[in-house]
Amino acid sequence: MPYILNKTNGNSLVVLQDASLDLTTDLTFVGRNYAGYGEIQNENFLKLLENFSNTTPPTRPILGQIWFNSTADQRRLNVCYDGKNFKGLAVLRVQSESPSQSLTGELWWDSNNNQLKAFNGSSYLTIGPTISSIQQALWVFREESYRDTTIPIIKGNLNNRPIVTITAFNDVVSTSTVIIENSDLIDSTGNRPDFKYGIKKGITLAGCNRNGSSRAADYYFWGTAAESLIAVTATNVVVGSTTTGILSIPMVSTTGGLFSTSSFTYNVSTRVVNATATSSRYADLAERYAADAVYEIGTVLVIGGEKEVTTTGIKANTAVAGIVSKNPAYMMNSDAGTDETHPYIALKGRVPCRVQGRIEKGDLLVTSFHPGYAAAWTEGDSPNAVIGKALSGQEKGYGIIEVLVV
């Protein structure tokens, strides 16, 4: 009686007759009652143990088979990933120093610089990140000694070079600048020359003039940034705070200038913006109301339900609140909630509206028997139920038209 050898997926590989050998794969399968089967079985186990170790790949591989390539400069485990070609498994080493006796394609995680590198046959090339952890931007707290004073500072370094220094130090000597030695800079030759630079209270940027700025001595942003922040006008821009007064609102022109005008102001006490006129790309005035469900744009809502507004199936309901707005031009009560919990309801202006039935341009609209939809006003409907006027029409069915909310 023959053996039927099945793969892991259940597919049949071979039917093995009694007292016979099968050489379909790189292992030798033994049929029932085959004489001397012990040596063959032991060799099968040996091949599996060494993963078919050889300088050439197995000649009869099957999907998923493992092969160890024993060639001197390519010693690595390989997998027959598609039933035809073997794919090498890269070796990943984790250590602080460059590995020795590496093979082409091997990977090394440089734990000293936190970088992934690959061996190209002669040296390791950096895959990434291209900047090591030592060279990346780094904030460092340290203390500098000046005369009998200890100065606490925070330094921002990029590629081993300090680019910003922050300190709360108040200079108690006659000069407005503290000159200290800095051994953190590295020149192009790799040396660390002594370099003097100034620290002022606040933020000191790289490139500052250690002999003092030409501007006021109390500017916290010193160097090029301080120069650029000075307003070249009769009145300098001053950073401060206030709880009262009427302030001019700054405006930036397309040419980069900074301007202000007395007709565009902000009252700090009342939190009111004053302007001669405003404009908007959108066309309605809307306010947020608490809704008992999430409603789509154009839905007609009435006052009622578990919250403030809901839908209705009553024709010409005088409790009508308005229409859910798409893009309000003016948003009232904006902090009340989100569009899901507190949709904007158009109180005035032009908005899309869900309608039902025949609508003609100019028709007065009221709530319909279909919740969330408007219908044309008919004789006997209360004038207090009117939502708005149709700006376009439809013949029948359900649709969305533009409506003037009145």
- Asked if residue 248 and residue 290 are part of one domain, the reply reads no
Residue 224: which pLDDT band, with cuts at 50, 70 and 90? very low
Check whether residue 192 and residue 174 sit in a common domain.
yes
Cα separation of 295 and 343, whole Å? 8
Q: How confident is the model at residue 89 (pLDDT cuts 50, 70, 90)?
A: confident
Listed as own residue / partner, the contacts of 121-124 with beta carbons closer than 8 Å and 24 or more positions apart are: 124/98, 124/99
Q: What is the model's pLDDT at position 138?
A: 61
Q: 292 and 310 in contact (C-beta within 8 Å)? A: yes
Report yes or no on 62 lying in a domain.
Answer: no
218 belongs to a structural domain:
yes
- Across 12-38, average pLDDT: 92
Residues 290 and 399 in one domain: yes
258 and 222 in a common domain? no
Q: Are residues 204 and 312 in the same domain?
A: no
Tokens coding 172: 């108690």
Q: Does the residue 235 lie in any domain? A: no
309 and 248 share a domain?
no
* Domain-terminating residue out of 128, 152, 183: 128
| CB neighbourhood size of 51 (10 A) | 17
Q: pLDDT at position 390, please?
A: 97
Question: What per-residue confidence (pLDDT) applies to 86?
Answer: 83
What is the domain extent for residue 357? 284-405
- Give the residue carrying structure tokens 């279909």: 370
pLDDT score of 184 more than 50: no
250, two tokens: 């700054």
HSE-CB of 60 using CA atoms within 13 angstroms: 8
pLDDT-above-90 percentage for the chain: 42
Q: What is the pLDDT of residues 28-49, one digit of tens each?
A: 999 998 998 999 999 999 999 9
User: Is residue 396 in a domain?
Assistant: yes
Residue 314 lies in a domain: yes
Q: Residue 97 pLDDT > 70, yes or no? A: yes
Per-residue pLDDT tens digits for 119-174: 888 888 888 776 555 556 666 666 666 556 666 777 776 666 666 666 655 543 33
Q: What is the CATH number of the domain that holds 335?
A: 2.40.300.10
Boundary residue ending a domain (81, 103, 128): 128
The answer to the question of residue 59 being in a domain is: no
Shared domain check, 397 and 304: yes
Mean confidence (pLDDT) of the chain: 79
Looking at the predicted structure, is the pLDDT value of residue 230 above 70? Answer: no
User: Domain total for the chain?
Assistant: 5
